[in-house]
Structure 1
Amino acid sequence: MLSNATLFLARRYLRAGRSFVSVITIVSILGVAVGVLMMIVVSSVMKGFEGEFRKVLIGSEPHMLLHPKDNKPTSAQAAAEVLEKVRPRPEVVATSSYVNEVMYAERDGLQSGMDVLGLPEDGARFYMAKIAKHRLDGTLDLKPGGVVCADYIAGQLNAHPGDKISVYASSNVTSAVKRFRVVSDEQDEAKRHAGYKDIKLHAQEVTLQGYTRAETAGVHAYATLETAQQIFGFGDQVSGVLIELKQPAEVKAVVQQFTDLGIIPADWSASLWTDAGDARLAAMSNERVMMWIVLLIIAVVAAFSVMNTTITVTTQKRREIGVLTALGSRQGQIIGIFVSQAAFVGVLGTLIGGVLSALVLTFRDQIRMGIAVLSGGSAESASGMFLATIPAQIEPWFIAVTCLGSITLCLLAALPPAWLAARVDPAVALRD
């Protein structure tokens, strides 16, 4: 345990000759505070962005789609058998059959493509309630002959709720293109013209019921199961089974469990909500790791400033250290003086950094708006848009580790110069 004399000298060495705390000590404290501030704020914001992106995917993508491996339609009976096995599972919150295909839409000479998800009445009710927060205009209550799409697609078609849209199944368009190529190779002009006349796309008309925000709900379009089956010529066939989970983050483990239990047929596979953003999520995770490395370097630099303070003090107090050693002070007591000084700097700097990080995270949006105004932008330019505010996810364990790590680095940084100071020969120190 450090003696009172050791603590007294540690406090005394923190003071300058004419001021309460030396300038170099203040710089060291600020260095530690900035390191802690950067670690907490950057990590919290990066984690917040990753969390928001996950929420968008979970809130807009089907959690799990079970379908034949060849992606061809399957019978309603086959889907019903899978549904019978899936519905009782405790991991599942909702499930239904579905149809998923691409269709082309046209209105007044404007065209666009839609990735359509057709759902039966019970599945549509649950799923559309899930994306209801992304609605921009119209209704999401699916009706036969109606479609809900993203605002991006509606903008391409210059369509509004209630407008009629002509739609074509992508398979029909592909078939027409193939026939066109064959007819184009016909040498007989009469036969070629006759072939061109036979190439027709039979459009079906649907009503735009409403549209959602593409930024948060994706570019999917939605229709009733019957409407989708009619557009794509599925008859009573479906694409597979859609499953919504209680814990979407555990979707990969659930798929493995379903496979082990034989719930997923051998010739079927699963498409997961993570498939739509796996690469992006992995990239964001790698960005966080690289950011931690950069922040760790900043923390080490702050620790070096503490080491610099200790070196400066031990150099200035060389004669006093010699006197203390000559009077019988042990090496541990000498080291304790400067380690106590580093502990004071580390603890005070960490507390200041923690308070500043709390203020920055609390007023992060106001700070963003202030910077936008000062840089000539508009504070309200992002209002109503996805991530219009800066997300942050505070992790108490990370804050605790950061604070403890900061103090530990400060103590470790003070040990080398303190140990060297304790080994000074008293005769040499007093002669200098």
Structure 2
Amino acid sequence: MIQRSFSLFLALRYLRPKRTFLSIITLISILGVTLGVMVLILVISVMTGFERELERKVVGFDAHVVVSRMDSPLTNWEELQDKILKLKDVVAAAPFVQGPVLVEHENIRVAPKIRGIDPEAEEKVTELKQFIVQGDLDLDGDKVILGSELAALLHARVGDKITLYSPGNVSQIFNELDRIQKEGNKSDAAALKQMILPRELTVTGIFESGRYLYDSDFMLVPLYVAQEVYDLGGDIHGLAIRTTDRYRADAVKEEIQGILKYPDTAMTWIDMNKQIFDAIKMERNVMFFILLFIVLVAAFGIMNTLITVTVQKTREIGIMKALGAQTMQIVGVFMAQGVVVGLFGTIVGLITGISLVQYRNQVSDFLANVFHIEVFPRSVYQFSEIPAEIVPSDVAIICTSAFIICSLAALIPAYFAARLDPVKALRYE
């Protein structure tokens, strides 16, 4: 207890010397640790929030598990659905038909994907209603709900009618149609249109999932319309399944695989979005290690400060050793300095980091309005605000790592101070 008090007393005394630049160097060292911890907490929290928000959007639009058959539709799917619904962790199931089609509106032609659904069953599996930004989730009859980007591309609004053409060799058909129309043969053009089996659908709603892939490439139609377009009869392309917990999807998938027969297969929402989540996790880990170098730079600053103290206090160290100070007491002086700087910098960094996370959107708006720096473009990331989520375990790892690095930075100066020969130290000028 006496040894620790002696070491701590001298450490605090050396950290605030008079008439030298060491006090400024000490403040810079603390500031370096503070910035490192603050930026790490902010970036990791934003990356975590981005990942969790993306999860919520994906799971809101996609089912937890999807059952389909490779290269062919599902037949006798009602029997399969009954078996799946009997599984313990399965909450609901809904049939769907999904595939590419050709759509026309105001002479604009695009090739999006239709997703034929039973609205009543689909609402039990996904959360489509929360994504409707215009109109209603109304698919009663020949109606369609468009993704926001697709609607903008087609110049379509709620109440407009769009023309849907069944899939096939439509490019050749339209080329032939254009040729006939130029020649003015209207009867042949009308007959050719019948070959494509056009269907007029009324836009009753526009959805915005927050993911450009869905908003620009998907349109929702009644199940029977999609079945007619693909000439499926009563068959479907797959079953969308909701589980009790989205993180139980892998376990449920294994149970479902036990029911299925080849070539039927099951995929979870993680499998379907694996590349996205793997990329986010990799970026998150890379950012952690890159930003950790800020703390390492601060640690070198601490080491520089303590080495300077060692050089300046050589005579004092020699006097202390001559008076009987033990080696561990001398080591403790410099170790205590590193611990104090690391602890204080970590605490201040923790407070400022959490504060910045809480007020991240206000800071972003301030930078955008005053300096015209767009930190988080809404149009690019498709989020109305910067997502963030503070995970206590992540914060603990960041603070612990910073504190340990700063404490270890004091080892080298402490080692040199402990090795000083009292006689040579007393002769030091």
Q: TM-score, normalised by structure 1?
A: 0.88
Asked if 1:162 corresponds to 2:159, the answer is yes
Letter in 1 for 2:30: I
Residues 253, 267 of structure 2: 8 Å contact kept: no
2:146: which partner in 1? 149
State the distance in 2 between where 1:198 and 1:301 align. 72
- Cα displacement (A) at 1:321: 0.4
Partner letter of residue 73 of structure 1?
Answer: P
Q: 2:198 aligns with which of 188, 192, 203?
A: 203
Query: Which range moved further: 387-396 or 323-332?
Result: 387-396
Q: What is the DSSP-based 3-state SS (H/G/I as helix, E as strand, rest coil) of the residue aligned with 1:307?
A: helix
Q: Give the Å deviation of 1:334.
A: 0.7
Ranges in structure 1 where 5+ consecutive residues have no aligned partner? 181-192
Q: Show the counterpart of 1:190.
A: none
Aligned equivalents of 1:106, 1:20: Cα separation in 2: 74
Distance in 2 (alpha carbons) for counterparts of 1:290 and 1:420: 35
The whole-number CA distance in structure 2 between the counterparts of 1:97 and 1:263 is 17
Instruction: Give the whole-Å Cα distance in 2 for the aligned partners of 1:65 and 1:317.
Output: 71
1:264-283 equivalences under 5 Å are 264-283=260-279
- Cα deviation for residue 241 of structure 1 reads 1.7
The answer (yes or no) to whether the contact 2:166–2:196 under 8 Å persists in 1 is no
Deviates more, 1:354-363 or 1:168-177: 168-177
Name the structure 2 match of 1:256: 254
- Which one of 105, 113, 116 corresponds to residue 115 of structure 1? 113
Distance 1:266 1:352 in 2: 59
Structure 1 residues 139-148 or 249-258, which shifts more? 249-258
How far the C-alpha of 1:375 sits from its partner, in A, is 2.4
Displacement after TM superposition at 1:174 (Å): 7.0
Distance of 2:376 and 2:328 partners within structure 1? 60
Write the distance in 1 (CA, Å) between the matches of 2:375 and 2:293: 33
Alignment of 1:328-367 (within 5 A): 328-367=324-363
5 Å matches for 1:185-224?
200-213=195-208, 215-216=210-211, 218=215, 219-224=217-222
Corresponding letter in the other structure for 2:259: I
How far apart in 1 are the matches of 2:295 and 2:96? Answer: 53
**Aligned pairs, number:** 416
Given that residues 350 and 403 in structure 1 are in contact (C-alpha distance below 8 angstroms), is that contact kept between their aligned partners in structure 2? Answer: yes
Contact 2:6 2:329 in 1 (8 A): no
Query: What does residue 183 of structure 1 align with?
Result: none
Cα 1:111–1:196 change in 2 (3 A) is: closer
Paired position in structure 1 for 2:67: 66
Instruction: Structure 2: give runs of 5+ residues left out of the alignment.
Output: 177-186
Residues of 2 paired with 1:43 and 1:9: CA distance? 37
8 Å Cα contact 1:57/1:274 also seen in 2 = no
Q: What are the superposed Cα offsets for residues 362-413 of structure 1, whole Å, 9 maximum, x if unpaired?
A: 1111111111112236899849983231111111112122222222212211
Q: Sort the Cα spacing of 1:28 and 1:377 in 2 relative to 1 into closer, same or farther, 3 A.
A: closer
Q: Distance in 2 between matches of 1:9 and 1:378?
A: 48
| Alpha-carbon distance in structure 1 between the residues aligned to 2:103 and 2:15 | 75
Q: What corresponds to 1:234 in structure 2?
A: 232
Mapped partners of 1:381, 1:405: distance in 2 = 32
1:138 aligns to 2:173 (yes or no): no
Question: Distance in 2 between the 1:5 and 1:382 partners?
Answer: 56
Label 1:117 to 1:194 Cα distance change in 2 as closer, same or farther (>3 A). closer
Distance 1:51 1:378 in 2: 23
**Deviation string for 1:92-125 (max 9, x for gaps)?**
2210222222221112322222312222353134
CA contact (8 A) 2:145 2:203 kept: yes
TM superposition shift of 1:55? 1.7
TM-score (norm 2): 0.88
Q: Structure 1 residues 366 and 173, CA, compared in 2 at 3 Å: closer, same or farther? A: same
Instruction: Give yes or no for contact 1:373–1:379 (8 Å, CA) kept in 2.
Output: no
Q: CA separation in 1, counterparts of 2:408 and 2:374?
A: 47
Residues 388-399 of structure 1 correspond to what in structure 2 (within 5 A)?
A: 388-399=384-395
Query: Which residue in 2 is equivalent to 1:34?
Result: 35
Amino acid aligned to 1:210: G
Contact 1:57 1:276 in 2 (8 A): no
Which residue identity does 2:409 align to in structure 1? A
The Cα of 1:324 is off from its aligned counterpart by: 0.7
Match in the other structure for 2:314:
318
